[in-house]
Chains A and B, each alone.
Chain A
Amino acid sequence: MIERVKNRLRKRSGKNRIKQRLIIFSVLVALLLLLALFSEKLCPYDPAQQNFAIALEPPGPAHLFGTDRYGRDMLSRVLVGAHISIFSALILVAVITAAGSLIGVAAGYAGGKLDAVVMRISDICLAFPGLIFALAIAAVLNGGVENAVIALAAVSWPKYARLSRSQTLAVKQSDYIQAARLAGNTPVQMILRHILPNIMGQILVTAMLDIGTMMMEIAALSFLGLGAKPPTAEWGSMMSEGRSMLQTYPWVVLTPGIGIFISVALFNLLGDTLRDYMDPRNRRETVKNS
């Protein structure tokens, strides 16, 4: 009896711990988003203000992250960089999630020719090594953050189309979907009201885990000169700009890197926790407990 209670408590605390982590990381990510949103107002100096008298100062009390070769305050630039780096990744993930899953659900629900065509197109897209293709597209589009986002979107949507298609095929045969169809729902209603809400969880988890990856890929394109261009404060391009000074003025290169690391890590932590939370194995435990 005591054993059983103990066991039950342990299981419940495991689930609670995941919930706790979920809350903590959500709050942290929310703080990060607020920081990125209001970065212009929060930064101590004007990030574009050049002052050659204080160029390349090492980190100190006046400039916590030091200054770059134009005497711009690195802390301000890293803070402002958060805005572009984080929001472009969020927009990118939102676009590929929405487009990919709509295409996938439509293909899975309709079946037949539409399905075959969509799947062949996604086969060809998946046959490309993603980043290389994105590099080529970004080069053709002549760089810029928007174009880097477009390039990455063009190569990343098939993953979501695949995922949502297979999920759709899985729920399509279930009784409640059949019932909804018999009740006279139109295909659009079926997809939007009955299928999408049921497969959203899995897609959402995948999207959350993708934010960090996409942030790194946008930064990588910028690093190669195919995304944001100087003097825009974006982490990837800032690191590329300061690359030649790694030996003498390392903070110019390393501080934007720390910015990328912290934000990618936070999004990954939230994504991992969300996945654990949605994991049916954990859910089953709660059902048993309740």
Chain B
Amino acid sequence: MKRYIFKRLLLLIPIVLGITFLSFAMMRIAGSDAILQQVDATGIALSQEVIDARREELGLNQPFLIQYVRWLGGFLTGDLGVSYISGNDVFSTFVSKLPATLFLTGSSMLLTVIISLPLGILAAVRQNKFTDYLIRTSSFIGSSLPNFFVALLLMYFLSIRLPVFPVISEGINLKSIVLPTLTLGIAMSARYLRQIRAAVLEELGKEYVAGEKARGIEFSATLWKSVLRSCLVTILTLMALSIGSLLGGTAIVESIFMWDGVGKLAVDAINMRDYPVIQAYVVWMAMIYVIVNLATDVIYRLIDPRIRLEGERR
């Protein structure tokens, strides 16, 4: 187990290098460097000599690879430069807004499990009955709605028509998180429901279920003790896979509800072409994603010893 985690951590190195290199190169391809951006942002015309001197100072006249290595050094020590727009330190701004996003991600995940797990099981148990059709239809509708539309619909019905929740968030609190969480939770539950239903159905078709029935064990006991346990792996996989789209979704939902997290920070930065902030966001989100995936792989092993992890085979 330790060896496996160690090996996976080693594998992170090329991925981190790939992610940072790609995003660094992309921001360079964007065609503009920090000096020109600042000139654009402030609107003050600088003479060519001043621009050259500033370039020299920031090392922007050096070869691309050397610049990358320097940037990577800064990245590893928590120095991501300053925002072109506000002039604030990018890394500390990012860190200060991260908890809000993680809070939103966590609450959406929780809501998704609360909605989709019981309903998914119910749909499977009542297969091809009215309940099943109703649940499946709702899940279908949910998965055909883009999340920004869901956000606007919720806003329209729950804060404009029925003023229950604030239209835009009033700080990081429980009342403000309800609508963003609902938006993300609805989209994800719609997707989970079908897969949980399918997983439970497949499990119910196995011989041991009939066997337990024949031995007179109550169906609910079979369902909760055996079937659900073996579905856990499927559900975990789903969650790990959806972390990526959830993080992407937070960007949109945060900027609609003005939830002050990194997603909104990134969308604002994108609109103002504030490249250091965009870069920090992309790199750190990718890192979080990779680390969550690693954690899921480890948890798999804890839940289901039958899964042999790579690196343990020999």
Contact = CB atoms under 8 A, between A and B. Distances in A.
Interface in A236-290: 236, 239, 243, 246-247, 250, 253-254, 257, 260-261, 264-265, 268-269, 272
Contacts of A201: none
B240 to A, nearest CB: 12
B245 A220 contact: no
Given A129-B247, A261-B149, A135 B266 contact: yes
Given A131-B249, A132-B248, A135-B270, A140 B27 contact: yes
Interface stretch (A44-52, A62-70, A76-84, A222-230): A222-230
B248 A136 contact: no
B244 A131 contact: yes
B155 A224 contact: no
B273 A129 contact: no
Contacts of A223: 146, 148, 252
Contacts of B108: none
A132 B247 contact: yes
Contact of A140 (B29, B155, B247, B293): B29
A2 interface: no
Given A216-B146, A225-B271, A246-B152, A135 B160 contact: no
A246 B143 contact: no
Nearest to B248: A131
Which among B148, B255, B285, B293 has the highest number of chain A CB atoms within 10 Å? Answer: B148
Contact of A257 (B14, B152, B251, B256): B152
Interface stretch (B18-26, B63-71, B176-184): B18-26
A260 B149 contact: yes
A239 B141 contact: no
30 contacts: A127-B18, A128-B282, A129-B248, A129-B285, A131-B248, A131-B249, A132-B282, A135-B267, A136-B282, A139-B30, A139-B278, A140-B30, A219-B146, A224-B251, A224-B252, A224-B255, A224-B267, A224-B270, A226-B270, A236-B148, A246-B156, A254-B153, A257-B146, A257-B153, A260-B145, A260-B146, A261-B145, A264-B146, A265-B144, A268-B144
Given A124-B18, A136-B23, 14 more contacts: A123-B15, A124-B19, A129-B247, A129-B285, A132-B282, A132-B286, A133-B282, A140-B29, A225-B270, A239-B148, A247-B160, A254-B156, A261-B149, A264-B145
Interface of A: 123-124, 127-137, 139-140, 212, 216, 219-220, 223-226, 236, 239, 243, 246-247, 250, 253-254, 257, 260-261, 264-265, 268-269, 272
* Interchain residue pairs A-B with the least CB separation, the first 4: A131-B248, A129-B244, A216-B146, A265-B144
Interface of B: 14-15, 18-19, 22-23, 26-27, 29-30, 140-141, 143-149, 152-153, 155-156, 160, 167, 243-245, 247-249, 251-252, 255-256, 266-267, 270-271, 273, 278-279, 281-282, 285-286, 289-290, 293
